[in-house]
Every structure is written in C-alpha cells, then in structure tokens.
Structure 1
Amino acid sequence: MIHGHAHLLRTLNGRRSLSLSALRPWRMLDLTRLVLAVVYTATSFGFATPRSWAESAENGIILAMLALAAGTLFLSGRSWVTEMRLRKPVVCLDAMLFLALLVVTDPANSPYFSGSLFVAVEIALIVRRRLHMLVAVFAAVTALLTVWTDEVVAVPSEPDAERIALRILYLAVVIAITGMLLGPGRDTLLERERARRLADSAFPPVKGSAGSFLLQALRIASGGENVAVLFRADSEEPYRFASSRLGDQMPEGNGGLLSVETGWHDRPRGASIILPPDGVGEIHPLSRGGRAWAMALEAERLLTVRVSLGTFDAVGAVQLDDPTHEDVAAVAQRVFEGACEELMVRNSLDLAHAIAGARERERLQRELHDSVLQALASIRFQVAPALDGSIENPRTVIENVDRIAKDQIATIRSIIDPEKDEEDFAYLPETLSMVVRSLADQWGIRCELKVEDGNCATSAMIGRELSFAVREIVANAVRHAGARAVEFSLQPAGNRIALHVTDDGVPNLARLGSTGAVPSRSLMRRVQALGGEVFLRNIGGRTMIQITVPRR
C-alpha cells in the first residue's frame, strides 16, 4: 500500500496528478509549453498558405518548439536532477524560438503574439526576483524591436482564419491551465496528504523504541524500505541512530550525517537538490551530507528530510529510485514532521503521566502526614497519662480516642478518593471553625477562631489545604512547644487572605529559620503551592505564625 501511494505520487498522472499540480509547478510549466506547441503546430499546418520562405520558416520553428517541449517533458520526468539542469537552457531556447516565430509572422500583426505572456512568465521564473523589473524592460524593448522589423524586411501577414483559431485555442489553454492552478494550494495539498497518511497508518508504540517509531514514520512518508534516522529528543542528550539495515549501530565514517536538509541526492549524477520550505528547489554539487548518507544506506539515490521542533531534531534518509521529484520530497517532509510531532506528544503525555503520578504520591504522603500521623500523635499524647496511672477514670480519654478514630476513617476516605467540589467555593470561617473545634477535642486544648470583618470566601482547594496546614500547626505547637491554647485570627487583606496563629507554648527557636521562615518542609510546600507565604516569629514571648494565601 505504501509503495502504491509513493508510485502514484511520483508518476503524476490522471486526476491525482492534476490535484497535485501545485506541488510540481515546473511540471505544469513543461506541460503548458507542450500544449501550446501542439496548438501552434495544428494551426500552422492546418491553415498553411503559400507565403514563400516565411511559411517554411514558421513551420520549421514551430516543429523545433514542439520537439523542444516534448523532449523536455520526457527528460525532466525521468530525473529531478535532469529537470533542474534543463530548466534555464530550455527556457532560453524556447524564448529565442518564440522570438524568431514572431519575426517571420509579421510581428505587428502576428497571431502568436498572445503566447508572449507565457514566455515572459517562464523567463521570470528563472531569474532572481530583484531582476524582474529588468526582465520587464527587456521584454518591452524586444516587443518594440520586433514590431519595427517590418520596416526592414517585408513579411506576409497570416490568414484571418488562423488568427481567430489561435485566439480561441489560446483562450481555451489559458482557462484550462488557470483552472488547475486555482485548485488547492501547496500547503492545503500537503496538509491533506499528511492527514490521510497519518490516519491510515498504524504506528508502533513509542514506549518500545523511538527509533522504530521514526523508521516506520519515514517509510509511511516516503514509500521506501531502506531507511535510517539520526535523532535526539532533547538538546542535552546525544544523537541516536536507527536503521532498517544496520539496526542501532552507527555506521563508520558517519561525519556529515547532520549536515543535510530536506532534499534529493543523486550520487551517479553528482548533484544534491535542496528543497526549502517554499518548495523552490536549488541544485548544487553532491553535498558532504548526501555522500555520507549514501554510504550509510549503500544507495545511489536517496531522499533526506530534516525536522527541527524546539529541542527535538531528526534527520531521516530513505533510498528511492527515479523518477523522484519535489512533490515526493515535500509530502515526505510534511508527513515525517507530523509523525515527529506525534512522537513528541506521546512522549509529553508519558512524561505528564509520570509527573501526575509523582504529584499524586506527594499529595498522599503530605495529607497522610498532616492528618493520620498527626491524629496518631494526638492519641499517644492523650493516652500517655492513662498509661502511667495519672488519670483515675480513663473513659473520657477512650471516648476521645474513639471520636478521633471515626474522624480519621472519614479523612482517609476523602484522601484516597477526594470528591470534587462542583461549585469550587469555600467560606473559610465556616470551614476552619469546624477544624478548630475538632482539633480542640483531639488534643484536649483550647482553640479559638476570630474572624475580622470582610469577605473571606475562597476556592475549595485553598480551603482544604489551609485545613491541613492548621492541623499541622496545632500538632507542632502541642508536641514541640507544650502549648495549651492556640488562637486563630482570619482576616481579608486585599486580594489575599491572612491567617494569624498564636500559641502559649514555650518559644522554640528551633522552629525559626535564619530569615524567620518556617522550616517545616511539608507546611512550606503546601502553602507555597497555593502561591502563599508562611512566617513564624516570637513576639512578646508568644509564638506567632502568619500565613497569607490568594483568594483563588
């Protein structure tokens, strides 16, 4: 199936050839030249009249133009290199023959004068853009000189019937060619071909080997079987090699494999054709990179494609036979680029899954630490007096432990399978008041929450994270500072919300960092993940923690 697609694309015949005309503009130019030569031949011999030497000269020139057009179309179809080498000589020769045709058919009244537009177009295509104005001036001067030739030599006029027939046929040719050129543009055709081939092809899984994936992509893009790629997924990693013939073994003398762009390399003809993004190829002597890839694939002719997407860089080479032209190279480039994008997306998804898994593990670890472990610590804290006999009636302690256990069962369920809040809304005074009351019972201390006037509404996620932060703060205050009372103050601060926490525990300088920041990594990560800040200070013999978080 792959070979069929590539062969169909290379031969450029039938309806598909016409639809791909935008990918081979010079092929359309050669075809138009042949059609015009056939029209000239038919009208010249069909309306031939005895006009002495002028008639014979006209017929001879037109036959030469027909032979030139047919030969060019035949030779250019056999090889892309031959086509590139023939372009300028053929255009120059065709222009001179057409100029001679105008001279022998009475330039001022020549029925072939309309064909000068085609000659001007093909001349403009072989010169640099900055010289187009000079070409226009030259064409105008040439037209004036040919018109004045009737003052030098008398040339009989062509019959009116021939003039009318030529105009009608020329108009028909212009309409037909224009209709084909006004079809889908180059980018549209390339995107269609890319989408079709990628949709019809089954790529191997990327997890197995990125090299195998790219080799299959290159086969699909070009239709060849002897393929090789040199690639790297990141600028910091070395290039990796994969080949259908050599496997992962880098060939000896591989210098120059990276010094190629998308194009065609013909070792017998000693030429390399570079295909830039605009599709206008440039022919050069066989490049060092083309020679290196030819040796690696042991191929006489090969197509190379280059894809660079951010830090991703890949060079692919495939052995192909003539005829191969710019349409094959352009389609292969676009399809291979699409496959490389697919590879990057799959790798990104795998990386995203790995990152998501790591973040989920970190969330579970943090929330289990801030809830279950803190609850177990509070149980030990309350059970200790009962174990050493300092409490005569431990029933109160047992009831409190039972209540803590029930709360933790619900907490663990919410940690393992968190419910999404459809409204994504939390009213902090209400949320934190329940947490503060629960902590007071859990640790057997006094906990109070004061709310300043103002809007303290925030997102459900921030409310949840602050609840866990409050649990850790209270646990640290009781366990490490012996606090018996913790006071919370919640107040809005512009587009942020501030939570102040003070306790009556022993000031513990070990809880102070060098800049006053809380060294608790769990608490710091939790608040910083919300875009907030945490500071701990010793003010008047009391420890104060300040947390500020954004509303959203």
Structure 2
Amino acid sequence: MEVDLGASRNFFWRGMGGHPTRLGNWFRGVRPWQMVAVSRFALAVFALLAIYADPSQPARSSALAYYLLGGYVVYAGALALATIRVSPRPVVALAVHAVDIAVFSILIYLTEGPTSPLFVFLTFALFSATLRWSWRGVIATAILIVLVYGLLAVTADIDTGEDITRTIVRSAYLIVAGILFLYFGAILERERLRYAQLASWPDGPTSDERFPALDPIFAHLSKTANVPGLLVVWEDHYEPYRYVAEFADGSTRYSMEAAADFETAIQDNTRSGAASGVQNEISKRILSDRGIRHSVVAPVGGASHSGWLSLVGEHDLGDDLMPLAAIAALRIGAEIEHHYLRQQLVKAAMREGRSRLARDMHDSLLQSLAAIGLQLKALERDVAAPERRQIADIRGSVAEQQGLLRQLVSEARGNDRGRAADTPVEAAVADVLRKMEAQWNCRMSLAVSPGGLVASQETVDGLSLFMAEAVANGVRHGGATKFRLDVAKSEKALSIRLQDNGSGLPGLSGSLSHKRVFEAGLGSASLRRRAIDLGAIMHLHSSSEGLEIDLKVPIG
C-alpha cells in the first residue's frame, strides 16, 4: 500500500468539510492545559444542567450534590480563565488533577453510586492525564480510578440485575479505556522522541561525485522512522537523467536512468490537461518496478531538481509517518541542492584558476615560444640545407604548440563564443586518434553511429582530451598496441566504449561499477577527473585481454 502525503491530506480536509489552514491554526493555538481547562468547565456546566433537568433527585444528600457541583462549576470556570495566559506549574497541575478525581468520586457516590450518569467524569480524568503526562500519567490515573470505582461498587446497594450488568460493563470500560489512553499516550511520546531524534541530523559529507553522499542521512532516517528501506528518486532540471538512491540492509546504492518517459508523459498529459498527475504516476511506476508494495511517499524538491522520497516497509506503514516523511523530504532535498551548489562553486573556482593560468601562460610561455620561433627563423638563414629543413620542422612544431596554447588561453579567458555550437563528433575524435596513433605507434579503429553525429564544442573537447589520456595510459601502463573506439547516441547522451588489447588494470579483474571506481580510486586519477568534468558515468571492465572503458556522457 502506498500512502501519498499530499493526496491523503487533501482528502482528509475535504471529508471534514473544513479549511485546513483556518482550523489547523486554531488547534495549533490551543495548548493542552487550556484544552483540559475548557473541557472541564463545559463538562461541569452540562452535568449541573442535567441534574437540574432530571426530575429525580440524587440518591444521597441532594443538597450537598447540588452545592458541590455548583462550586465545581465556579472552580472550573476560574481555572479556565486562569489558564488563558498562564501555564500551570507541575505541582499545581498535579494538585488540580487530584482535586478532579476526588470531586468526581464524591459526585458519583452522591448520585446513584456506580450506576451514576456522572461516570463520564472518570473518562475525562484519563483524557487530561494523557495530555499532561503522557502514558505515565495514564497508568497512575487508570489504577486510581479503577480502585475508586471498585470501592464504589462494593459499598453500593445494588439490587437489580440491570444495575449489576451496568456496573460490570462500566468496570470493563474503565480498564479498556485506560489501555487505549495508555496506547495513545505512548504514541504521543514516541512521536516526540521521533522528532527530537530526527532533529539531530548527521551532516552529509562533501562529495564531488555526481551523487550527494546521503548514506548517513538515510541510516539516521531509517533508524528514527523504524523502516527497513528508503528510496529517493529525483530528476535534475538541467540534465536528461533520473537519479536513484536506494537504501537497504544498511547501505545505499546509487544509479542513473534515462528520464525520457517523464518528458514524454508531460507532453502527452499537457495536451489532455492532466499534467498535474504525471509525477504521481511515475513515482507509482518506479515503486511497482522495484516490487515495493508498502510505502509512504513525500515530494522532494529544490531549485535544481524535483522528485520523491519513499519510506519503504515490509507491511502497511499507515499514515502516522506522513509528517515525518515530509520533514525528511525537505532535509534530503536541501542536501541534494547543497550538493549541486557545491559542484557549481567548484566549477567556478576551476574556471577562475584556469583564467589565472591562462594569463600566466600568455605573459610567459607564449611570449617565450614566440621568441624561440624568431631565433630559429634567424638561425635558419645561416645553416646548410639539411640543417635548415630540421630547423624548419622544429619551428613548425613550435608554431603548432603556440596555436594550441593560444586556443587554450582563449577558451580559459571565456573568449570562445562558438563553443556552444554543435561540432561533428567523428571528425574531431578521428583527428585526435590519428595524432595518438602517430605519437604512440599503435593502431586505431573508430565507429560512430549515427553518421553526422554532433555535440557541443565543450563536450567534444572534453571527450578528445579523455581519449588522448586513455590511449596514453593504455600504451604506457598496459602495453596496448590496438584500440577500438565506438561512439553511439542514446537518449540525450553519448555512449562511448574504448577497448584495448593491453594487460588491463593490475590486480583487478571483472566489471567495475562507477561507484566502485570512484569510491576506491581505481584506475587513472586523471581519467576519473576527466569523467567528472564531462559529467559522465564511467564503468570499467578489466581482464588479461585488455581494458574496456564505458562512458555515458550527457549531451542534452
């Protein structure tokens, strides 16, 4: 069974026929002792009116019963007025509770004993004890009023079978009511402790990966809510992916999946005027796909993302976890938002660092290379033809490096206006592979599907640098001599596979997930950094026959 926070709340208020804000504000403004005081006064007034309206008189000392109840009405009214602005101290509250039980016992004794209609006062004593002292007060009050009622029953003169039946039923009612109020008090105590524990959130560790580090938060929430599993699914507003974090058996598993179904559903339902229910349908389908039958769902949101938190149980969780799920969803949403903002700050710092480096390169290295080029040109005039050709080749290499450095400096300074334009992927990557083939004396093969595939200049540049680094590592560390690169377009992403015939990663064999690669720091640190810069998911497969690198690069 899935309990949706928003839908359940709206249904409740529609059923009540009221306005949630107005009625909720009224109840939030009334304190427990004020509610008890007002209830006491109302109960005493109606009891006095009932006795005067009854033609029969109290069984024992009618005058004393009238005076006592009349005095109790005045006493209850004074307490109700006093508690409007003043909270009673613990000792005063205990004394008032003792007076209540004493007055109730005397009134029941004076008005027909255990069959008295004022028996309802004893239930009020249980109610007020629950609000004031939770389950501890219920236990003491229940024991006391059961003893009092038992004493009244023993000392009463009960003649008819009807009175005996009524006395037995009322005795059982007091015991059952005490148990129910005890349970209610325990629930209140549990919820207070829950929210107190929930308030002590652990800090999520800083992470520069695609996923925020939610493990300690999930563990804390699972323990506080007493649920075995959690599921958080969110969609980044700026990327074509859906992120999934699933907590079970004390650990968190992160994954990514295409979010194309979300966009398709939005388009389809917008035409039919039903876009508001799309997210609900997707959250239900995600739970169903994972075989989750019992959950409480709350929305997760932020400036950069939206999604859902599900508290997962083995049995029906009911609706008492809904407020806690809503609070937890806010905390998790804030953690995801902070993670996104931290990533943006890191990128901004990196851009600033690149800009400073570009200035230094322009003012030092480029100027030095220009001077070297001029010196080589002057030297070229005074040497023989063979040496002149060698110098010309060196001068050409220097000029080529100058061009590359000027491009890097321009990009780092933000002067690359055309970087957002689409760039052919095949031509750019093939050019890099040709250079790597010549530089490392290895064989390269390339397959790009579909033909004419394009991506942003930034993506293509990042991919080219990644491939150059991967080929260099494969030759130097794995002894590879052959490489095969396959590039294909999936839904708003590039699927890239680079295979070599080297010796693989030392001491590692088999498939290595993105999470394991980055948590354990496996493979090349520079490749991991390049993958982060591309916003890519990277999986490795290592064997004695070579290394396979699989990348999923967003291009939306």
Quick check: TM above 0.5?
no
TM-score (norm 2): 0.40
Higher RCO structure, 1 or 2 (CA under 8 Å, sep 6+): 1
Q: Which has the larger radius of gyration?
A: 1
Q: What is the TM-score of this pair, normalised by structure 1?
A: 0.40
